[in-house]
Amino acid sequence: MELSSLFKQIFNKDVEATYIAPARVNLIGEHIDYNGGKVLPCAISCYIKGLVSKREDNQIVTYSTNYSNMFSSPVENIKYIKDNDWSNYVFGVFEILKQEGYKIPFGLNVLLDSNIPLGSGLSSSAALLDLVLYIANDMYNLNIDLKTIAKLAQKTENEFCGLKCGIMDQAAIALGKKDKAILLDCNKFEYEYKDISLGEYSFVILKTNTPRNLVDSKYNERVEQCQKALSLIRNKLKVNTLCELEVNQLEKAKQLINNELIYKRVRHVVTENDRVNRFMLALENKDINELGNLLNQSHISLKEDYEVTGKYLDTIVESALDSGAVGARMTGAGFGGCAIALIRTEEFSKFKESVESLYFKKTKIHPEVFQVDIVDGPTRIN
């Protein structure tokens, strides 16, 4: 059924406005956004769509075509309810807006429809948060700028939904720009757009088809380990974030931390931040081999030092390299989800077939291998 017809059937009202927000992929700089590092994400052409109408009461009523269920809450009495799953992201936005002093003068009907692979590492949750904030901003004339939308989305995920994430995902989507990656300094929240055209080469996405739930995973544990490390070295090494450490300071940091596991987490953070800087130089020089090497190094570090990859991500990266990729690594938070690979564009069909065969042979799971465009951030489409 057409979405506008479904909307009319569910809410008994016509659609007044339609909005979209993209997913994002991070090219390099993983698990360092919450450590004050630099990252290189871009918004991509997978979308969540929101169809909206005003209500005459104070209820927020939302329906998801992906889950085929509906939830509602009065604006003045929003609570986090674990069993309500995805709707917490919708309601959480309105609760945070209230806490920040924004006026919510009427309720909304919101129908959501997404082709972003859920739990994939492409930030379906950040896309949903940014979308709902963009909708509220427009429907209520709140005059919130895009940077603030990203900050409020992060605040919602941190404080209402319980994931201690950094700003990268929300910013990458809110600030997305067609054909550009975003070099984002997560400590200062400063950013610049970067051209990533690579001639005969391009990035492709590899989906393991093994989703994960970050709140229930080891994500928050990694954040806490990094906070522990920072508390041990901050005063002696005079740093405010782990990413202020230089690679040549790692040995001193190791002595201060005196815990091999915690030190490994720090080593990943510091070397990954360094890889982002080297990646930018390789992009400028169109050095394809160096870009591939840095992707590979990033995955090894995430596997061995940060321990967030696992069987399926490791297998799909190995399959990509065995299928001719110049480089490949997991992207997103890990624990399942997606990887990216750098390949010669004209070899995509052969590459896709090979990865699907190798991965299935080892896991008995059918992966997805697909190309995406780099796109603009959230927008109203009618």
Residues classed as catalytic: 169
Confidence of residue 212 (pLDDT cuts 50, 70, 90): low
Which amino acid would we find at residue 246? E
Q: What is the pLDDT of residue 343?
A: 98
Domain-located, residue 210 = no
Mean pLDDT score, 35-47:
96
DSSP 3-state assignment of 72? strand
Domain-located, residue 158 = yes
What range does the domain containing 24 cover? 3-196+375-380
Domain-located, residue 356 = no
Q: Residue 109: which CATH number?
A: 3.30.230.10
Please name the residue that has the structure tokens 């009202």.
13
Chain mean pLDDT for the chain = 95
**Contact yes or no for 339/208 (Cβ under 8 A):** yes
Domain-located, residue 285 = no
Domain-located, residue 214 = no
Between 216 and 140, whose confidence is greater?
140
Helices (H), 238-328: 250-257, 260-284, 288-304, 311-322
CB atoms inside a 10 Å sphere around CB 300: 15
Res. 24: pLDDT tops 80: yes
The DSSP output letter for 157 is I
For 155-200, what is each residue's pLDDT tens digit? 999 999 988 888 999 999 999 999 999 999 999 999 999 998 899 9
Res. 214: pLDDT tops 60: no
Number of domains, the chain:
1
**Contact yes or no for 339/330 (Cβ under 8 A):** yes
Domain-located, residue 188 = yes
Domain-located, residue 99 = yes
pTM above 0.85, yes or no: yes
Res. 119: pLDDT tops 80: no
Domain-located, residue 13 = yes
For 330-352, what is each residue's pLDDT tens digit? 998 888 889 999 999 999 999 99
Res. 105: pLDDT tops 70: yes
Confidence of residue 122 (pLDDT cuts 50, 70, 90): confident
Distances from the Cα of 228 to the Cαs of 35, 47, 224, 330, in angstroms?
12, 37, 6, 25
Res. 73: pLDDT tops 60: yes
